[in-house]
Chain A
Amino acid sequence: MRFTGHLDLHRAWERTFRRAHLPLAYTQGFHPQPRIQLAGALPLGFTSSCELADIWLEQDLPVESTLTALQTAAPPGLAVHQADAVDDRLPPLQVLLRSATYAVQLEAEQPDLAQRVAALLAATELPRVRREKAYDLRPLIEALAVDPQDPAGLSMQLAARDSATGRPEEVVAALGFDPTAAHYHRSALLLAETGSA
């Protein structure tokens, strides 16, 4: 499942709703698409225990039975933990998303991991290039620490706003490790308060 890309994940959700016989709403127009909006794309290869999505149905249904139906219909690798009915006038999750936290497991224990983390946090800027675009990684790192239980583990909180998304592989690379040799898990999505909306 973790190697399912963002678009394919949309498909997996659509099919889950179809198997659950839940009436997904579709967009109008020539190419109707199911109205499923994931809060933030999960990069390929990442596991997660915290994904959020806005999903529109054609009619109001009781939350409890909807959740049960989804749980039964979900494919291996997708577990549905919670469902809430949301006021359609509220801003979508994609707009509310602020940051994400990740647990990163490096391939092996690194003796100087703490020093490297400290040095990274001490930097005032971390110029990097991703997909031929130069950017500064430092302001996107909101928190970074070695896992106290696991000397090869890192926990980090990165910005996940529309035009400012930190990627944990970039942090691992900036620490001087091979980013393809680590395992990434998204542990939380942090949203802006909606009270004022």
Chain B
Amino acid sequence: MTPESIPHALDRMLPRVEKPGRYTGGELNSIVKDWATARLKVCLAFPDVYEIGTPNLGLAILYDLINRRPDLLAERAFVPWSDMEAAMRAAGLPLFALESKRPIRDFDLIGISIPYEQLYSNAVNFIDLAGLPLLAAERDPRAMPLIIVGGHSAYNPEPMSDFVDAFVIGEGEDVIFDILKVLDEWKAGDAPKIELLRKLAGIWGVYVPALYAPEYNEDGTIAAVLPIDAAAPAKVLKRIVPILPPPPTRLIVPYIATIHNRYAVEIMRGCTRGCRFCHAGMITRPVRERRVEAIVDAIEEGLKNTGFEEIALLSLSSSDYGDVVDLVRKVGERFAGKHLSVSLPSLRIESASVELMEALKDNKRGGFTFAPEAATERMREIINKPVSTEQLLETVRAVFERGWTHVKLYFMIGHPAETLADVQAIAEVCKRVRDEGRKYVGNKVSVTAGVSTFVPKPHTPFQWVACDSIEQIRAKQSLLKRELRGPGLKLNWNNPEETQLEAWFSRGDRRLGAVLRAAHRKGIRFDAWQEHFNYPAWLECFAEVGLDPRFYTHRERLIDETFPWEHIDVAVKKQFLAEDYRWSLRGQTRIDCRERCFACGILPKFTALRMQTPAKAWECPEVKPKHLRRATTPELPVAGD
């Protein structure tokens, strides 16, 4: 099939598939550039269907930045749903990009964003649907696109490393242009692929797995992941942007409903709270905020360009945004009364949050969401999210008092050292919240407990801990199902088998590449979709390649174990994480690190960058050049090794 015949083939195919609007492109603010004159062509991919991938802000940022450059072109691609995949395979139609309808394999670079592990099987299938060899070693970037993977899952790149030429560790805004420059220069010459890989490995934030080899101990743990090429650094330091660039305002306006339909703007990146289970909180340091004016102006412009009826102010912890009251007041003033809804997720459990929401909402529709994560004081100390039940009750009182009737509470089971009593307490807290609501809104009160299962993540203080077994999870869930019955109570939980998949891969090593290949041969994909997830088939894949999945999940790691992701440097030191883990076992908490720097490692690693950025741009303490330190700020709390 030639590139020119794809649109015609689609014309015939689309009336026969579910939600054909997934595959048409042509949306407002999508950008179709001249193929012939673009110097380099980038395909930005999300390995799930259009409705899931379209609202992804990371891809939107890169789409905007790349397309601003006159010599470059960026298009989008998602994976087809199974009906469309079958039709495409039957017709010999290769995966294509939405803008030009060109085959993916005609691009120079494919950037796949993989925020979570359930997308791995889809990402492998994406490469196959593009008509490319699955293994990076078998792909020739002279004739095929270079495949780069980024997103939060890339902080442990090893399970996907067989399939990927290079990973971006960290933030993409600057590094994408470094990568494209190297690719452009390499394309102009005739050097072999290894030369391209070496150059890529020299870019801050780029990990080239082919230049590293893992060595294993007899028990299967990692001895070391070492560079096997002089061009490869021993550790790959994550990339960050010192100051957040202006947010994109021309977001694509989909014609069909997607999981989020809104103008989303990141108000800050990073989090100072230090919850020990939280992957994002550890890997996205340091905290950098956008100014209120920049946010409000972006919203103004964004709404003008999109017409969205919802605004989302995104961050890991909205309440911690420095000028949150001012931000909310200004957003309320500028945009209220226009049938706009504003969402401000991730609010702290305190009555101030309720006041914030009240300023933003023009009605009491929807509800209020809080994430206590644990229900006993002991457990909250272990995870470092010390919010008392009293404080939660006081907060929900403020919610119900103002006429809201619905509260959603997020908890996790499977935290380290958790007992059934801690789980029982989740049910009790939910009931107390419900009873509190009854006093104000009567039987209209509804409390939803969203109870997910904790999965230990790399680069967090809990990277050492063993996961609960399926049996333990089931026991805890059935306790909750039994207890959280009755009027005004609702329980949501995750399938424990799906949690296993996430857990295998989140702390997996390079040997899991063989498992992913076996899974692809079996037709495994769409693991994030219940109707597709096939646990027994995954167990067969592990058996086929001779690996025990429990090795990755149900094993407590020794404190000095070398991890498969040890050569990935997120700037937060392993020593700090280990100390925090020990603190956790003692039930010792840490306060917000804006109050006091705990020397997690960010500052010594990024000293030079910090010195160049304005004092208020980061929440980390200011660092002044050495010769000025003693003279001006003798008390400056410089964090150091």
Contacts and interface: CB of A to CB of B under 8 A. Distances in A.
Contacts of B255: 1, 3-4, 8, 12, 75, 77
Interface centre among A18, A45, A183 (most CB of B within 10 A): A18
A44 B307 contact: no
A26 interface: yes
B335 to A, nearest CB: 11
B27 A45 contact: no
A15 B309 contact: yes
B530 interface: no
Contacts of A11: 257, 261
A76 B26 contact: yes
Nearest to B363: A30
Contacts of A107: 12
Interface string B1-27: 000000000011011100111001011
B347 interface: no
Nearest to B23: A3
A19 B305 contact: yes
A92 interface: no
Nearest to B255: A4
A32 B26 CA distance: 29
B27 A75 contact: yes
A30 B365 contact: yes
A170 interface: no
Interface string A28-56: 00111010000000001100000000000
A180 B17 CA distance: 10
A29 to B, nearest CB: 10
Given A11-B257, A14-B309, A75-B27, 6 more contacts: A7-B257, A19-B307, A30-B363, A76-B26, A107-B12, A181-B15
Interface residues of B, number: 27
Nearest to B254: A8
Contact of A75 (B14, B28, B363): B28
Nearest to B340: A18
Interface of B: 11-12, 14-16, 19-21, 24, 26-28, 253, 255-257, 261, 303-309, 339, 363, 365
Contacts of B19: 3
B28 A76 contact: yes
A44 to B, nearest CB: 7
A108 to B, nearest CB: 12
A77 B20 contact: no
B256 A5 contact: yes
Contacts of A73: 307
The interface residues of chain A, by DSSP majority, are classed as: mixed
A8 B309 contact: no
Nearest to A31: B365
Interface centre among A30, A32, A73, A75 (most CB of B within 10 A): A75
A45 B14 contact: yes
Contacts of B304: 19
B91 to A, nearest CB: 14
A16 interface: yes
B24 A14 contact: no
Interface string A66-95: 000000010111000000000000000000
Given A30-B363, A44-B20, A17 B307 contact: yes
Nearest to A19: B307
Interface centre among B14, B19, B257, B339 (most CB of A within 10 A): B339
A73 B19 CA distance: 25
A16 B307 contact: yes
Given A8-B257, A15-B307, A19-B304, A76 B27 contact: yes
Contact of B20 (A7, A12, A31, A45): A45
Contacts of B306: 15, 19
A194 to B, nearest CB: 30
B28 A18 contact: no
Contacts of A183: 11
A180 B15 contact: yes
Contacts of B26: 1, 76-77
